[in-house]
Amino acid sequence: MQKIVKIALVVLGLLSAVLWYLLPSSDMPVAEAAESGAMNAMFIITYLLLGIAVVVSLVFTLKNLFSNPQGLKKTLFVVGGFLLVVGISYVLASGTDVDPQFMEMSDESTIKKIGMGLNVFFILTIIAVASLIIPGIKNMFSK
């Protein structure tokens, strides 16, 4: 199996090198370069490899997750906490805190989702920083 993977990687490497050589020159107009067959083939290879990597990582992650019930319980707890943070962030987000000139570009639900994403980022950042600082403070006072 390992030999097959190595051979496949060598073939993909050689194919990518040939496609790299066939890429359009830098002085070609962008619209024309985007239609290049070499460019499209490189994108197809990239998407194929990305898809394979995602599928393999998901399969092995789920396999390991379901083989360890304690790990599954911990993972469900973390996912539940993340969904709780997303729910709280959505409730805290308002869709009306945008300058009226920018409201023309988007609707209220999109702005609310953007606000929710920012709130999720801020809350998770606060949790991450607190989880780094609090144990350090505990260690300072326990010694």
Write out the two tokens for 87. 């729910």
Dihedral, CA atoms, 61, 64, 68, 73, nearest 10 degrees?
0
Give pLDDT < 50 ranges for the chain: none
Question: Residue 129 in contact with residue 108, Cβ under 8 Å?
Answer: no
Pairwise CA distance, residues 96 & 136, whole Å: 40
Among positive and negative, which fits the CA dihedral 16, 22, 28, 33? negative
What's the predicted TM-score (pTM) here? 0.58
In this prediction, residue 122 carries a pLDDT of 96
In this prediction, residue 103 carries a pLDDT of 67
In this prediction, residue 15 carries a pLDDT of 85
The full length of the chain comes to 143
In this prediction, residue 125 carries a pLDDT of 97
- Integer angstrom CA distances of residue 141 from 15, 76, 131, 136: 60, 33, 16, 9
Question: Residue 93 in contact with residue 112, Cβ under 8 Å?
Answer: yes
In this prediction, residue 86 carries a pLDDT of 96
